[in-house]
Structure 1
Amino acid sequence: MTRGDLRSSAWRRIFHNVYADARLDLSHRSRCRAAASWLFPPGCAVAGRSAVALYGGVSPRADDPVEVLVQPASRFGPLAGLLIHVAPWREGEVRLVDGCAVTTPVRTCWDLASWLDLVNAVALIDSLRHVGAVDLPELEHYLATHRGERGWRRFAQAVSLSDAGAESPPESQLRVRLVEAGLPRPVTQHVIERAGRFVARVDLAWPELKIAIEYDGLWHHDPDQFHRDRQRLNSMLGDDWIVLHVTSKRMRENFDTFLTEVRTALLSRTRARA
């Protein structure tokens, strides 16, 4: 096969000197496997957000750079399509997943806490915990054995805020932002019952105060889902619940006002109980 053949519409360039059949629907996971199979020299491993995807958690977009952890002696990179981090790892902190060298889930969490801001790091750690790739005792043990090392405080904070119950990154980001703003930590995916029967499950809640927060995401593209969500929320209101809604747009552009609304609801219910 010549370079002219590869430039035809039958082939799609993934990385330098790495091509795929143009008919393939390439995912980020596929690109991770291609990079690990054809580009990585010894001393490299898929890491960070890309490792989260390989463990079944939240995945970056298909064309986002594949994150790579490189041993200092490897001398690998830079290379278009890869986001390279240089740091050593201990024995046992890299394993094979789908034939790729990948940082272990707990090491991935350490790296996420080191490389990302707290809100986004927790969201991805939540994702790994939610799919069962790592659990809290593993994270706490890793923290105990790395206490005092550079980055351990960031890791400790991220672990303390993580929650296996979170079902999406926006919900995780919302929860962390509420806690960072000084609000009590809400419960994730709280189930509301009436006389022992299921009424609704809400994204975040302070059950003792009967206050819930719903993150309104892509459901509004589905009229049937919209109807079901509104029906269950109406049922909650009959039990004296306060339900606050927030959208991605509001989180980006008007979060301070939303915080004020949440604080007001918490304060009014707290005073009513006093």
Structure 2
Amino acid sequence: MPKAPRRPPQLRGRIFRGSVAVSRGLLTRNDLRSSAWRPLFRDVYADARVRVTHRTRCAAVGRWLIPPGAAIAGRAAAALYGCATPGQSEPLDVLVPRETRIGPTAGLRVHHGEIDPGDTVNRAGVTVTSPARTCWDLARWLQVVEAVVVIDALLSSRLTDVPALREYALSRAGRRGWRSLLRAIDLADAGAESPQESRTRVRLVLAGLPRPQTQWIVTDQGRFVARLDLAWPQFKVAVEYDGLWHDDPEQFHRDRRRLNRLLGGEWIVLHATAKRLREDFDGFLAEVRAALRARSRSPWTR
């Protein structure tokens, strides 16, 4: 029968530095390789029975791996605000003061930069970049579509707003990334309700289409008919991201029924799916463009 791994009571349910546990005689280096402990980062371990969350990983990084004055940043910061869902194995972005050197560390993406007063806040014991600074870094570090996806979520959660972000960007005019933030702000929309809705909207706008309205309410003689993900109400054209993303078959069928009511009227409703956007975005774009062009010549749009 295999020997049960050592589990000193001082370490049960804890996250700890492996070197400290070894120096105190609680474990050996060989013990750290057992199934009782889970490596999180270099020399940082967790009791394997502990549920490791994003906040847990960020707290460990803040406590043991980054110097004073540094902060969790980028998508990792947005996830602490509840506005992104990084994968468990995705490296965590950290922002380190420009003058501070820190070597490469597995599991971290280290960014050096100037950190102004007010750029960091304490969130549940973790030092994290402020919502405005998080948006600035996202605009600098990510491709514009993915940056706007997260900025949309921060706006939707009312952690910041467009005027505040614009003021933040303009107050840093001339510094690296301020124009990128302004561009992302111009494309952002607090009405987006999912990352895929944001991606669809931004890609359509970047392709040259007029900016759609988000969550547009359609009524019939004062009665609610539908709420559309993206709409050009002046043309009565809409785009709906396929509702299967929410894993609720009943909701999907309810969505289809309400859209059928629109299809029987004056609206054209085009459906986007993850597969279509991934494999045939140009074809989908052509369909939306054709619908807008056709409706721009219709009598009720003049």
How big is the shift at 1:217?
5.0
Please list, as runs of the form range in 1=range in 2, the aligned pairs for 1:165-180 lying within 5 A after superposition. Answer: 165-180=191-206
What are the Cα deviations for residues 153-186 of structure 1, in whole angstroms up to 9, with x where unaligned?
Answer: 2111111111111111111111111111110000
Is 1:126 the equivalent of 2:166?
Answer: no
1:28/1:63 contact within 8 Å kept: no
Query: Pick from 158, 167, 177: which aligns with 1:151?
Result: 177
Structure 1 Cα separation of the partners of residues 246 and 118 of structure 2: 44
Structure 2 Cα separation of the partners of residues 191 and 89 of structure 1: 42
How big is the shift at 1:104?
0.6
Residue 187 of structure 2: aligned partner: 161
Count of paired positions: 274
Residue 258 of structure 1: aligned partner: 284
Change (3 A) 1:136 1:221: closer
Unaligned runs of 5+ in 2: 1-25
In the alignment, residue 182 of structure 2 is paired with which amino acid? A
1:26/1:62 contact within 8 Å kept: no
Residue 36 of structure 2: aligned partner: 10
Structure number with higher relative contact order (C-alpha < 8 Å, ≥ 6 residues apart): 1
Structure 2 Cα separation of the partners of residues 88 and 223 of structure 1: 48
Two-structure CA RMSD over aligned residues (Å): 1.5
Residue aligned with 2:122, SS: strand
Structure 2 Cα separation of the partners of residues 30 and 201 of structure 1: 38
What are the Cα deviations for residues 202-252 of structure 1, in whole angstroms up to 9, with x where unaligned?
Answer: 111111211110111534843212211111111222332111011111111
2:243/2:255 contact within 8 Å kept: no
Q: Among all aligned residue pairs of Structure 1 and Structure 2, give the percentage whose two residues are the same amino acid.
A: 56
How big is the shift at 1:43?
2.6
Structure 2 Cα separation of the partners of residues 250 and 83 of structure 1: 32
Is 1:46 the equivalent of 2:91?
Answer: no
Structure 2 Cα separation of the partners of residues 154 and 265 of structure 1: 31
Residue 273 of structure 2: aligned partner: 247
Structure 2 Cα separation of the partners of residues 220 and 91 of structure 1: 40
1:11/1:20 contact within 8 Å kept: yes
1:42/1:74 contact within 8 Å kept: no
Query: Pick from 129, 132, 142: which aligns with 1:106?
Result: 132
Higher radius of gyration, 1 or 2 = 2
Please list, as runs of the form range in 1=range in 2, the aligned pairs for 1:213-252 lying within 5 A after superposition. Answer: 213-216=239-242, 218-219=244-245, 221-252=247-278
1:219/1:226 contact within 8 Å kept: no
In the alignment, residue 92 of structure 2 is paired with which amino acid? V
Residue 207 of structure 1: aligned partner: 233
2:120/2:129 contact within 8 Å kept: yes
What are the Cα deviations for residues 91-126 of structure 1, in whole angstroms up to 9, with x where unaligned?
Answer: 111111111111111011111111111111111111
Change (3 A) 1:177 1:65: same
Structure 1 Cα separation of the partners of residues 133 and 293 of structure 2: 40
In the alignment, residue 30 of structure 2 is paired with which amino acid? G
Unaligned runs of 5+ in 1: none
In the alignment, residue 170 of structure 1 is paired with which amino acid? Q
Structure 2 Cα separation of the partners of residues 217 and 24 of structure 1: 34
Residue aligned with 1:208, SS: coil
Query: Pick from 80, 95, 99: which aligns with 1:73?
Result: 99
